[in-house]
């Protein structure tokens, strides 16, 4: 096929090309609700816990955008942080406070929050070193624990492009195919770098003072999303 006739597809602020009313978005919403339930069950937040939600989006077209703020019952305890302008969250969800900040350099003191949550951000911060830095920053500002979610690279459908199997190719080759198909933004490592459970384990093995567990949300028996839980084991 001539590259010039391939349709160019521009992702939204969530780096996603699926239409808001598509089946893919309905499934994504279902999965995100399940991951929220897993967060509540695993870390058992209370009405007194201060929560940092890292990586909120300016997107308002998708039902599952900023789902944590929509679902969390104690909004007055939530700080929503991200590079995109999501100040509207303060009006949409009274009690939530928005702070513009980079997930690689959070402007908060050590252990400033009881829990840190982040959904589908880790794959968008760039190379493996940046992914490790994001996890390190989340651990630094968490007093009790973290919950970070990211799509599983070994799920057969790539959620952002909606393409099957191509993302199983070596990453350099995968990005070349993405460019050929017109997904120029998603072909950049700085915008999309899918992770595996083994990569998460390798990163977390370098951090002390936490107990880590990698859980997963599933679709049709496949692990669709990885969920990194971390609990602090030291108080000093």
pLDDT of residue 204: 98
CATH code: domain 3-232 is 3.40.50.150
Q: Domain locations in the chain? A: 3-232
Q: What is the pLDDT of residues 179-232, one digit of tens each?
A: 999 999 999 999 999 999 999 999 999 999 999 999 999 999 999 999 999 999
pTM score of the predicted model: 0.93
Sign, CA torsion 135/133/17/60: positive
User: Band of the pLDDT at 5, cuts 50, 70, 90?
Assistant: very low
Mean pLDDT of 88-102: 98
Q: What percent of the chain has pLDDT over 90?
A: 86
Which residues, 6 or more positions from 7, have their beta carbon under 8 angstroms from its beta carbon? 182
Band the pLDDT of 8: cuts 50, 70, 90. Answer: very low
| Most distant CA atoms of the chain, gap in Å | 61
């Amino acid at each position: 096929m001539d590259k010039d006739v391939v349709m160019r597809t521009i992702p939204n602020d969530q780096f996603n090309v699926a239409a808001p009313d598509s089946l893919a978005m309905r499934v994504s919403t279902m999965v995100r609700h399940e991951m929220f339930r897993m967060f509540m069950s695993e870390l058992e937040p209370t009405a007194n816990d201060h929560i940092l939600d890292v990586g909120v989006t300016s997107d308002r077209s998708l039902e599952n955008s900023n789902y944590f703020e929509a679902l969390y019952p104690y909004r007055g305890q939530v700080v929503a942080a991200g590079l995109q302008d999501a100040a509207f969250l303060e009006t949409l969800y009274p009690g939530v406070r928005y702070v513009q900040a980079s997930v690689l350099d959070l402007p908060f003191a050590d252990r400033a929050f009881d829990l840190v949550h982040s959904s589908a951000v880790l794959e968008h911060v760039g190379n493996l070193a940046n992914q490790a830095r994001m996890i390190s920053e989340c651990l630094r500002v968490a007093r009790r624990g973290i919950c970070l979610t990211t799509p599983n690279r070994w799920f057969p459908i790539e959620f952002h492009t909606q393409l099957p199997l191509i993302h199983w190719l070596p990453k350099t080759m995968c990005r070349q195919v993405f460019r050929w198909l017109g997904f120029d933004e998603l072909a950049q490592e700085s915008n999309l770098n899918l992770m595996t459970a083994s990569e998460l384990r390798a990163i977390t093995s370098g951090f002390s003072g936490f107990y880590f567990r990698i859980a997963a949300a599933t679709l049709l028996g496949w692990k669709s999303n990885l969920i990194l839980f971390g609990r602090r084991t030291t108080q000093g």
